[in-house]
Amino acid sequence: MNIRTPIDRARRSLVRGVLAVMVAVLAPLKAWAARNNVAFDTKLLEEGIAAIGADGAIETDRIVFKAPDIAENSAIVHLEIQSLLPQTATIWLFAEKNPQPLVAQFDLLPGLEPYVAVRIKMADSAFLRVVVKAADRFYFVRRETKVTIGGCAG
Amino acid sequence: MLAIVAVGGTAVAAPKDDLATMRSRFEQRFAGVPADDYGFGTFMLNRAARSHYEDIMAFPPFLGDIERGKTLWETRFRSGRTYADCLPAGGRMIAGNYPYYQPAEDRVVTFEMALNRCRAANGEAEYRYDDRATMGVLTAYARSLSDGMRMNISIDSDGAKARYEDGKRLFYRRIGQMNFSCATCHVNNAGNVMRMETISPAIGQATHFPIFRGGDTLYTAQMRFTRCMEQVRAQPFAIGGEDFNNLEYFHAYLSNGLPLQASVYRR
Amino acid sequence: MADPIRMRITLDGDIAIVKVLMPHPMETGLRKDPKSDEMIETVPRHFIEHVVATHNGRTVLDAQWSRSVSKNPFLEFRVRGAKSGDTIGVSWQDNRGESNALETVIK
């Protein structure tokens, strides 16, 4: 494991600004993986957790989860997730009070740092939960984020 | 804290005094906030919100709109000329001089009017001031060419002073069913929370338009004024009309000395 | 025609920090019912379901999304063992079968 990237480094290195150039628009990739529809469709967090096989997940401080205490705008909540767990294979993100709590599943293949950042909508103040599968075991961390107005219209 | 150097060398005393009074009020209300942070609006008051703002601005969702504005900016008029040929200094580092008072016409000229005048002078139809898809994105890009310039509104004649005074009158006039003025919220209640929103101070507001509310909906300054008037249940003035132009003149003067940055995310 | 995907890559040693913006409505279908004040589904859902990222053609990230991801989705990921001249690709497919893709060379 090569864990040497603090979460705030991205912002600093952006200033150094090695910009990339666009070369081509490719045809979409064909090998789409199967979607866990049960996990994505359920309205209950517990069922979603069960559907990914993570009901025995252990709470850990080895997942760094940056989420706001109060969402500035519930339609665009910026989240950063970094796993410090060796052999991190999959990261799931749940928003407990959303109509379907499972927001995203990230399968990490060899060559990817165990880090993702994404912006999500939140229907209501809720615990956000990150579940990580690492070395075939499940771990989780959760954080409460408050919203003033729900961000799901649109 | 707001040790902003007076800019412009104006001979008329009153606007300077107005601004000094407002600055000293905010200095007391927001002790310790650096002067240049006023352009961040309420994000200057809350570390977490500011951090969120910076996360969004690192790769803002409205980049496509800015790029559409850049395309409009670079597209040649039928005359073969461009906005850059028409505006002072190729349109760079100038937005902080607008609105300005044009003595020959005895009226205030906004930056958006200057863009439309380029169009008219080159045989093109003017854009509507309330059209997000044309004037909105064009000004979003064009103003970004002045990022870092310090606001430099000049009130240097009796005519200019008269327009400034008219804008000031509108700023302080209570209107609508709620009987609010601009100042009720953005001077007297700046920093307070009203309807779950922290209210931004009037100083600094003019530095960063257009804004993208929610990350995707463009508002020019005058479109935002319209929204304020609707919220206090008043009949909004016409966008691009003389009332809003004079109000914008006064309002922009309040941000004199502060750095411009277009376009930005707002809640 | 959908707006193109936008990608910015910064190299930090041998790690490529990739930030991506994918213009898309990410329509949840939900609107507030003026009568009940509840969120009800009134327009068709339209959202990106699947995102794949590649490094020199090899898949490094395979993501499934719900409609809860924000409009004009932002995604950041970091690729190890990257260097100038490598390519990073991103493609998405939405619930209507529409798709878009972009490949970028690291400068």
Read off the pLDDT band of B131 (50, 70, 90). Answer: very high
Average pLDDT value for chain A: 82
Q: Is residue C13 part of a domain?
A: yes
Helix axes B63-74, B137-144, angle to 10 degrees: 80
- Domain boundaries of chain A, sorted by first residue: 9-29+37-145
A10–B267 C-beta distance less than 8 A: no
| A14, A69, A149: residue with CB nearest B48 | A69
pLDDT band of A33, cuts 50, 70, 90: low
CB B74 within 8 A of CB B138: no
- Is residue B178's pLDDT more than 60? yes
Please give the torsion angle defined by the CA atoms of residues A11, B41, C32 and A51, in that order, rounded to the nearest 10 degrees.
20
Q: Which residues of B are part of the catalytic machinery?
A: 228
**What is the arithmetic mean of pLDDT over B37-58?**
91
Cβ–Cβ < 8 Å for A45, A57: no
Residue C94 lies in a domain: yes
Compare CB distances from C68 to A18, A25, A121 and report the shortest one's residue.
A121
Tokens of B254: 């309040």
Give the bridge partners for C20, in sequence order: C7, C75
Is residue C20 a contact partner of residue C70, using CB atoms and an 8 Å limit?
no
Would you say residue C12 lies in a domain? Answer: yes
Least confident stretch, A78-92, A136-150, B27-41, B158-172:
A136-150
- Other Cβ atoms less than 10 A from the Cβ of B250: the count is 27
pLDDT at C33 over 90: no
Q: CB distance B215–C74 less than 8 Å? A: no
Q: How confident is the model at residue C32 (pLDDT cuts 50, 70, 90)?
A: confident
> A-chain residues within 8 Å CB-CB of C8?
14, 19-20
Instruction: Note whether residue C1 is domain-resident.
Output: no
For chain B, say whether C15 makes contact (Cβ under 8 Å): no
Q: What's the CATH number where C60 sits?
A: 2.60.40.10
Give the residue from B175, B14, C59, C20 showing the smallest Cα distance to A112.
Answer: C59
The pLDDT score that the predictor gives to residue B196 is 75
HSE-up (13 A, CA, CB side) for residue B226: 14
Confidence band, pLDDT 50/70/90 cuts, at residue B47: confident
CA dist A93 and A141 (Å) reads 10
Instruction: State the nearest Cα–Cα gap between C1 and chain A, in angstroms.
Output: 13
pTM, two decimal places: 0.82
Q: State whether residue B228 sits within 8 Å of chain A by CB.
A: no
Closest chain C residue by Cα to residue B56: C74
- pLDDT-derived band at A20 (thresholds 50, 70, 90) equals very low
Cβ–Cβ contact B61 with A under 8 A: yes
Is residue B54 very low, low, confident or very high in pLDDT (cuts 50, 70, 90)?
very high
Task: Determine whether the interchain pair B267/A73 forms a contact, defined as Cβ–Cβ distance below 8 Å.
Answer: yes
Q: What is the residue-wise DSSP string for C35-65?
A: TT--EEE-S--B-EEEEEEEETTEEEEEEEE
Please indicate whether, in this complex, the C-beta atoms of A70 and B215 are within 8 angstroms of each other. no
Contacts of A140 (CB under 8 A, 6+ apart): A54, A57, A58, A59, A60, A63, A129, A130, A131, A132
Answer whether residue C49 is part of any domain: yes
3-state SS class at C88: strand
Predicted pLDDT of residue C39: 78
B85-118 residue pLDDT tens:
999 999 999 999 999 999 999 999 999 999 999 9
Measured between CA atoms, how close is B254 to chain C, in angstroms? 34
Interface touch B267/A72, C-beta < 8 Å: yes
- Whole-number Å distance between alpha carbons of C13 and B253: 46
CA atoms within 13 A on the CB side of C54: 20
Report whether C44 contacts A89 (CB < 8 A).
no
List the beta strands (DSSP E) in B71-189: 100-102, 107-109
* Cα–Cα separations (whole angstroms), residue A23 to A26, B57, B64, B114, B228: 9, 25, 19, 37, 45
pLDDT in tens, A96-112: 999 999 999 999 999 99
| Residue C71 in domain | yes
Q: Does position B10 have pLDDT exceeding 80, yes or no?
A: no
- pLDDT > 80? residue B8: no
Query: Distance from A56 to chain C by nearest Cα, in Å?
Result: 22
Which residue of chain B has the CA closest to C75? B59
- Short-list B251, B256, B211, CA closest to B97: B256
**Percentage of chain B exceeding pLDDT 70:** 95
Domain A9-29+37-145: what homologous superfamily?
SoxY domain (2.60.40.2470)
Count up the domains in chain C and report the number.
1
pLDDT digit string, tens, across residues A127-150? 999 999 999 999 999 999 998 765
Residue of A nearest to C107 (CA): A20
**Inter-chain residue contact A109 with C59, CB threshold 8 Å:** yes
CB pairs under 8 A between A and B: 34
Q: Give the pLDDT band of residue A86 (cuts 50, 70, 90).
A: very high
For residue A151, what pLDDT is reported? Answer: 59
**CA of C3 to nearest chain A CA: how many angstroms apart?**
12
Domains of chain B: 13-59+157-258 (1.10.760.10), 63-144 (1.10.760.10)
pLDDT per residue as tens digits for the range C40-88: 888 899 999 999 999 999 999 999 999 999 999 999 999 999 999 999 9
